[in-house]
Amino acid sequence: MPRPSPRYSKSPQLVAFGAAVREQRLAQGLSQETLAHEAGIDRSYMSSVERGGQNIGLVLAAQIAEALGVSLSALIAQAEL
């Protein structure tokens, strides 16, 4: 299980971004495992991202958006950031 990013874990921005990822994933009928595989990351890390426990970088956020088939800007807008 990945360790949460201690400084920013559960910050409102990370929780909102994770919720947007989860909403997109569920709307597309994807499992966490499938999305994680497509994004090139571990499923447990994806779970932590969706819960707002990871302060992910720009590259990883872009990989997740690409795996979802949406732009990163659309995902950020959905999170209202």
- C-alpha to C-alpha distance for 71 and 44, rounded to whole angstroms: 23
pLDDT of 26-47, one tens digit each? 999 999 999 999 999 999 999 9
- The two tokens of residue 66 are 């690409």
pLDDT of 53-77, one tens digit each? 999 999 999 999 999 999 999 999 9
User: Chain-centre distance of CA 72, in angstroms?
Assistant: 11
Q: What is the model's pTM? A: 0.90
**Phi first, then psi: what are they for 73, rounded to 5°?**
-65, -35
- The two tokens of residue 31 are 């499992």
DSSP class of 70: S
Mean pLDDT to the nearest integer, 4-24 = 89
The architecture CATH gives domain 12-78: Orthogonal Bundle (1.10)
Task: State the pLDDT at residue 48.
Answer: 94
CB 9 within 8 A of CB 52: yes
